Structure 1
Amino acid sequence: MALNLDKQMPDLPKEVVYCKNCVTSNQRPRIRFNEQGVCSACEYAYEKDHVIDWAARERELQELCDRHRSKDGSYDVVVPGSGGKDSAFVAHQLKTRYGMHPLCVTWAPFEHTDIGWYNLQAFVRTGFPNIMAMPDGAVHRKLCRLAFELIGDPFLPFIFGQKAYAYHVALQHDIKLMFYGENGEVEYGGSEKYKYVPKEGPDDWEAQYFKGTSVDELMKVGIERGIFSPDEVSPKSLWWYKPPHPDLIKDAGLEMHWMSYYQKWIPQENFYYASTHTGFVPNNVGRSEGTYTRHSSLDDKVDGFHYYLAFIKFGLGRTTRDCMTDIYRGHLTRDEAVSLVHRFDGEFPAEHYEHFKEYLGITDEQFWEVINAYRAISNVWEEVDGEWKLKVQVS
């Protein structure tokens, strides 16, 4: 556990400061605070309400769809997603409002939850063809363990494929256009490189989404530590985790666009829309672990540990993420959000803990060794009389 491959952490400010408008802090990688102490995500939320010309963005979207729409009903856009509220919203809008013919693709979760599998099936039943990729399970589990131990995010192998798989499908089916949901870097406070453009390419994935580490680097350490044998490592076994060669992308004319550039992104409204049109149902318990909502990130039994590790490393958990968007939309006041963060952020994801340990092949002691190792190198924790406590909380 001595090696930390999350290259974002050393660049974070040592002093923890919270946004004056929402509940996030400067520990969110790549976030920017202005002179008034307001974060870049809040600035962008203001622009969405008061600056951006959404009618002009709508015309851009119409023109984009007009250029790519097939005349014979063949697939003309790839939409990656899980059957969750956001991807369902994007696919249904493209099909019913813009006359497109989406081919939907799913990079499979590590392990489907019952509700996640139900929602994917419900989505398909409402009229959407879907291709699912399930990578080599043995390789995938080992990558998950390595990412947990060396990067502090067991979810990273899923993110590799989530970003890359749609490109492979688009190439195979000669489809030029791909549509993702939101530009998370801009919406939640991160890189502003693509703030005013509708699309990105794979060039910045490693820095912005993969925490500065490629699947090749992760695999290399896995071989050095004896977790992977050399015969498990081949271009074939890693093919889906990496995008096609840049020349192939360029020659094929592939374009990946965000719906959030063209339409104001409101997760709560996406939930209502998907519930109405694609049979989406929320968690069948009062709320999801670690937050007060029950309609987001429902698909994977590993999801809760992705958010929990974010809380351990940055002091920013699942409740913080949900509160940010609800503050932007006026669904919560900041005082209400602070109370929710104090109550639920960092709640331990107990429901799938036993499964998580079994999936990674670790013990309870090994789990907490990793957790405490990341606490020790973070800027947000201190050990007092043998107990870990946050140095400062949003107030």
Structure 2
Amino acid sequence: MKRSVEEFVVNAYFGLPEEVVFCKKCVISNQRPSSTVEFKHTNKDKKATIGFGVDGICDACRYAETKDAQIDWQAREDALVRLLDQHRRSDGGYDIIVPGSGGKDSAYTSHILKYKYGMNPLTVTWAPHKYTEIGWKNFENWIHKGGLDNILFTPNGKLHRYLTKMAFLNLLHPFQPFIVGQRIIGPLMAKKFGIKLVMYGENQAEYGNKTEENYKPTMDKNFFSISDPADMVLGGVKVGDIIKEGEYSLNDFAPYIPPAAEDLERDGIEVHYLGYYLKWDPQECYYYAVEHTGFQANTERTEGTYSKYSSIDDRIDMFHYFTTLIKFGIGRATYDAAQEIRNDKITREEGVALVHKYDQEFPKKYFEEFLDYIDITEAQFLETVDKFRSPHLWDKQDSNWILKHQVT
């Protein structure tokens, strides 16, 4: 019997497809959102999800095959050298901005640009919510052992905590304000220092976000199109509405307001991805960072996955992935395993086993610190989490929540 649109809206939140399908090559499902930072429980807010072809292979896996078979990487590197030559300086000034935390990806990006391609990068860091011990150690190694200049930018801590709290309560996305800052810190610093080239590492399209973006070397300028900063939404709340409460002014939000696309164009600022020019492999970035910048993996695996070296600088990071598990049925082990399957580091069978073992693990280590950081109780945390469990993904049996669909 054909089902009505209303039934689908009730059973599947966030505009997700109600039928859960897993990629036949990796372990990702069609529940992975592709390009949004805000979700609501209404049909009109439906967002696109990761694409699957008739062969049951996800877009990210198809692009991984393209990387191996169809891209002339020597030609791409030649294009990189031409781009760098256009911006290269010999007067002692910085000629490129590299945003990053000192993790494996930004360590690779900044170091190779300086020491292989002869650029003079200024690295810029949007500070984590709360550094981990290993994260701070790797940050210091990046600068001191890697031999790089850096500006560590920390936004208004009181405001950032508030925005993180609102993002958790309203969107179940505690990383939303952080992601905004992380994406715009490069262009903002380029404007401030009069530098024309910004180079991020990999494009998130590598993993399924708008895969057509993989075929463009530059960041989508739509991200920098905000007509009125007061209408910008942070933490699920308009900036103007937060200002009306009286505690903050528009000036307090300066670090979160992206430069206008037309201003970047007028100033000749270009925002590129190194992953367009050099074949991107996260594990190879890790090996490079270990050798050249003193990067160290953690002594223990990250809760929710099997990895010890990816996204290990922020104590809040694992709650970001826990919330993706709740909203989309996709936890951190799924993301890590899917990526490593595509890069031929593990088999799909190994990936499936790792997902089953770790994906639903609750992040206990920093739980009390997370509650304190966003100033909520454990009861508020659980109530908020349960509110965002989509009925097409979760079933409550007695007092336990059961994920209905798991990769096989």
Give the TM-score taking structure 1 as reference length.
0.91
Residue 116 of structure 1 aligns to a residue whose secondary structure is helix
Shift of 1:12: 1.5
User: Residues 77 and 176 of structure 1 are in contact (CA less than 8 Å); yes or no, is this contact kept in structure 2?
Assistant: yes
Instruction: Quote the residue 1:67 is aligned against.
Output: 86
1:318-362 alpha-carbon deviations (Å, 9 max, x no partner): 111111121112111111100000000021111100000001111
* 1:385 maps to 2:398: yes
Q: Report matched runs for 1:213-362 at 5 Å.
A: 214-215=233-234, 218-220=237-239, 223=242, 230-285=245-300, 287-362=301-376
Shift of 1:192: 2.3
User: Residues 21 and 30 of structure 2 are in contact (CA less than 8 Å); yes or no, is this contact kept in structure 1?
Assistant: yes
1:113-144 alpha-carbon deviations (Å, 9 max, x no partner): 11111111111102111001111111110000
Shift of 1:74: 1.1
Distance in 1 separating the partners of 2:195 and 2:342: 35
1:131-166 alpha-carbon deviations (Å, 9 max, x no partner): 011111111100000001111111111111101111
Distance in 1 separating the partners of 2:55 and 2:233: 36
Match of 2:22 among 18, 34, 43: 18
Instruction: Quote the residue 2:44 is aligned against.
Output: none
Instruction: Quote the residue 1:50 is aligned against.
Output: 69
Residue 200 of structure 1 aligns to a residue whose secondary structure is coil
Distance in 2 separating the partners of 1:108 and 1:60: 32
Distance in 2 separating the partners of 1:201 and 1:21: 28
User: Residues 303 and 361 of structure 2 are in contact (CA less than 8 Å); yes or no, is this contact kept in structure 1?
Assistant: yes
Q: Which runs of 5+ in 2 are unaligned?
A: 1-11, 35-49
User: Residues 139 and 232 of structure 1 are in contact (CA less than 8 Å); yes or no, is this contact kept in structure 2?
Assistant: no
Q: Which runs of 5+ in 1 are unaligned?
A: 1-7
Instruction: Quote the residue 1:4 is aligned against.
Output: none
Shift of 1:363: 0.6
After the TM superposition, which of the residue ranges 213-222 and 187-196 deviates more from structure 2?
213-222
* 1:154 maps to 2:174: yes
- The count of corresponding residues between Structure 1 and Structure 2 is 377
Task: State the AA in 1 paired with 2:161.
Answer: R
Match of 2:203 among 183, 186, 189: 183
Residue 299 of structure 2 aligns to a residue whose secondary structure is coil
User: Residues 224 and 259 of structure 2 are in contact (CA less than 8 Å); yes or no, is this contact kept in structure 1?
Assistant: no
Distance in 1 separating the partners of 2:225 and 2:327: 19
Task: State the AA in 2 paired with 1:394.
Answer: V
Task: State the AA in 1 paired with 2:144.
Answer: R
Residue 232 of structure 1 aligns to a residue whose secondary structure is coil
Identity %: 45
Distance in 2 separating the partners of 1:267 and 1:40: 18
Distance in 2 separating the partners of 1:337 and 1:361: 36
CA RMSD of aligned residues (A): 2.0
User: Residues 32 and 190 of structure 1 are in contact (CA less than 8 Å); yes or no, is this contact kept in structure 2?
Assistant: no
CA shift in 2, pair 1:205/1:370, >3 Å:
farther
Instruction: Quote the residue 2:60 is aligned against.
Output: 41
User: Residues 97 and 121 of structure 2 are in contact (CA less than 8 Å); yes or no, is this contact kept in structure 1?
Assistant: yes
Instruction: Quote the residue 1:108 is aligned against.
Output: 127
User: Residues 28 and 190 of structure 1 are in contact (CA less than 8 Å); yes or no, is this contact kept in structure 2?
Assistant: no
* 1:76 maps to 2:95: yes
Match of 1:132 among 152, 175, 196: 152
Distance in 2 separating the partners of 1:321 and 1:234: 38
Instruction: Quote the residue 2:39 is aligned against.
Output: none
Distance in 2 separating the partners of 1:70 and 1:147: 41
Distance in 2 separating the partners of 1:391 and 1:206: 39
Task: State the AA in 1 paired with 2:201.
Answer: G
CA shift in 2, pair 1:220/1:253, >3 Å:
closer
1:264-293 alpha-carbon deviations (Å, 9 max, x no partner): 1111111110000001001122x1111111
Distance in 1 separating the partners of 2:217 and 2:233: 25
Task: State the AA in 1 paired with 2:71.
Answer: I
Distance in 2 separating the partners of 1:36 and 1:221: 47
Residue 89 of structure 2 aligns to a residue whose secondary structure is coil
Distance in 2 separating the partners of 1:385 and 1:18: 28
Task: State the AA in 1 paired with 2:192.
Answer: Q
Distance in 2 separating the partners of 1:206 and 1:362: 34
Residue 152 of structure 2 aligns to a residue whose secondary structure is strand
User: Residues 146 and 222 of structure 1 are in contact (CA less than 8 Å); yes or no, is this contact kept in structure 2?
Assistant: no
CA shift in 2, pair 1:151/1:217, >3 Å:
closer
User: Residues 291 and 318 of structure 1 are in contact (CA less than 8 Å); yes or no, is this contact kept in structure 2?
Assistant: yes
User: Residues 63 and 211 of structure 2 are in contact (CA less than 8 Å); yes or no, is this contact kept in structure 1?
Assistant: no
Residue 215 of structure 2 aligns to a residue whose secondary structure is coil
Distance in 1 separating the partners of 2:16 and 2:124: 35
**Could you list the runs of 4 or more consecutive aligned residues of structure 1 that deviate by over 6 angstroms after TM superposition?**
none
Shift of 1:202: 3.9
User: Residues 206 and 213 of structure 1 are in contact (CA less than 8 Å); yes or no, is this contact kept in structure 2?
Assistant: no
CA shift in 2, pair 1:206/1:282, >3 Å:
farther
Instruction: Quote the residue 1:366 is aligned against.
Output: 380
Relative contact order: is structure 1 or structure 2 higher (C-alpha 8 Å, sep ≥ 6)? 1
